[in-house]
């Protein structure tokens, strides 16, 4: 496989040409991450139309060859991204999507491994944690090569809302959301920092006090963001497209970037045997070591509860 350096060919396959899949393709094109993009969909005409529409703009982006095809055409892909599956409806939790999408992956994951045996498998479809575990089980690939987009987007939402509240550049905020990509996710307030200064002690004179009510409002803004957007426009696509593009960048450049992807954990603060989002080094080989971030007592309980919820959901689905 290529290493992302100038002159190397980088190919990705996106399984599912709906709003999320096509937006990921758009983000990959505009950022110049991939030289080749294959779009596949259960409705072949949909994939053809999206690929054609994107290809028509190729004059305005770094050189890229974008085509439509089948999963069996994915050979040579560095990364196969799964966005296919039932969509989340207004009022529906991510976990309610699980049964149909697990069944989809049962047939799809072996096809992906056969077509692209050397590829990393990146799951974006929801519920992403349960589906990442299903993809790992059904593909038979090593754990580091199967991971999900997890709470990478939730972490971005968290930092963006903190930045807006504190009037600080989002680039200077370090804070994570871990656990489920969903209702039981956990904001890590105890380790949140602004320019290396703990949030709890970072209060310049011109800042209004940062209260517990502020924390609650920000967390609700993060946790409920997808539901609010879906209720208004029927889908979320732009931010997750950018989040996946960031993960791809970390892979192709072998950055060893710390991203909260969903990955199999063995004993992370007592949680194991489940795919859940934790800060992880992401590079050319996929999901590398997880970083053991300190948790306070409340965060530790919430994280373990979140992992247990996902484990229970997997068992209900026979995983």
* Domain housing 125: 11-148
66 & 211 share domain: no
**Helices 297-316 and 128-139 meet at what angle, rounded to 10?**
50
Within a domain: 27:
yes
70 & 186 share domain: no
Q: How many domains would you assign to the chain?
A: 2
Cα–Cα dist 180/162, whole Å: 20
114 & 189 share domain: no
- Give which of 247, 266, 12 is closest to 147, Cα–Cα: 247
Residue 280 pairs with which residues in a beta bridge? 259, 290
163 & 259 share domain: yes
- Give which of 74, 50, 86 is closest to 139, Cα–Cα: 74
Helices (H), the chain: 19-31, 44-55, 98-115, 128-139, 152-166, 212-223, 225-233, 238-252, 297-316
Tens place of pLDDT for every residue, the chain, 319 residues? 334 444 456 999 999 999 999 999 999 999 999 999 999 999 999 999 999 999 999 999 999 999 999 999 999 999 999 999 877 666 666 567 788 899 999 999 999 999 999 999 999 999 999 999 999 999 999 999 999 999 999 999 999 999 998 889 999 999 999 999 999 999 999 999 998 888 877 766 666 677 889 999 999 999 999 889 988 998 899 999 999 999 999 999 999 999 999 999 999 999 999 999 999 999 999 999 999 999 999 999 999 999 999 999 999 999 9
Within a domain: 4:
no
133 & 186 share domain: no
49 & 64 share domain: yes
Within a domain: 270:
yes
SS3 310: helix
64 & 88 share domain: yes
Within a domain: 125:
yes
| CATH number of the domain within which 95 lies | 3.40.50.720
Within a domain: 157:
yes
**What are the residue numbers of the active site?**
181
Final residue belonging to a domain, choices 108, 126, 148:
148
Within a domain: 38:
yes
Within a domain: 3:
no
Within a domain: 1:
no
Final residue belonging to a domain, choices 148, 182, 200:
148
Final residue belonging to a domain, choices 148, 176, 200:
148
DSSP structural state of residue 291 = P
Per-residue model confidence (pLDDT) at position 100: 87
Which sign does the torsion angle of CA 231, 19, 94, 43 carry? positive
260 & 289 share domain: yes
Cα–Cα dist 156/149, whole Å: 12
Per-residue model confidence (pLDDT) at position 6: 43
Q: What angle do CA 26, 28, 256 make, to 5 degrees?
A: 150
167 & 254 share domain: yes
Tokens 């999507």 belong to 97
204 & 265 share domain: yes
SS3 110: helix
- Which residues, 6 or more positions from 129, have their beta carbon under 8 angstroms from its beta carbon? 148, 150, 180, 181, 182, 262, 274, 275, 276, 277, 310
80 & 229 share domain: no
179 & 284 share domain: yes
């Amino acid at each position: 496989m290529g290493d992302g350096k100038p002159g190397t060919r980088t190919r990705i396959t996106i399984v599912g040409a709906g709003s999320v899949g096509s937006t990921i393709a758009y983000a990959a094109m505009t950022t110049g991450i991939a030289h080749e993009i294959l779009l596949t969909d259960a409705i072949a005409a949909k994939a053809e139309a999206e690929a054609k529409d994107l290809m028509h703009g190729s004059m305005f982006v770094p050189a890229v060859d974008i085509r439509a095809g089948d999963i069996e055409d994915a050979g040579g892909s560095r990364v196969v991204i799964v966005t296919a599956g039932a969509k989340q409806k207004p009022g529906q939790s991510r976990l309610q999507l699980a049964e149909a999408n697990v069944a989809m992956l049962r047939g799809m994951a072996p096809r992906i491994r056969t077509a692209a045996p050397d590829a990393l498998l990146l799951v974006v479809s929801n519920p992403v944690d349960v589906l990442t575990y299903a993809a790992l089980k059904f593909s038979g690939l090593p754990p580091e090569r199967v991971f999900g987009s997890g709470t990478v987007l939730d972490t971005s939402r968290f930092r963006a809302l903190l930045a807006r509240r504190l009037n600080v550049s989002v680039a200077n905020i370090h804070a994570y959301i871990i656990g489920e990509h969903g209702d039981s996710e956990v904001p890590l307030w105890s380790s949140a920092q602004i320019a290396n200064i703990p949030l709890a002690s970072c209060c310049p004179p011109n800042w209004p006090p940062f209260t517990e009510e502020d924390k609650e409002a920000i967390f609700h803004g993060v946790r409920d963001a997808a539901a609010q957007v879906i209720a208004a426009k029927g889908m979320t696509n732009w931010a997750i497209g950018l989040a996946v593009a960031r993960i791809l960048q970390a892979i192709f450049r072998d950055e060893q970037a710390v991203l909260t992807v969903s990955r199999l954990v063995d004993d992370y603060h007592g949680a194991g045997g489940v795919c859940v989002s934790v800060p992880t080094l992401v590079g050319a080989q996929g999901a590398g070591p997880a970083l053991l971030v300190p948790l306070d007592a409340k965060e530790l309980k919430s994280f373990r509860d979140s992992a247990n919820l996902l484990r229970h959901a997997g068992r209900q689905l026979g995983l």
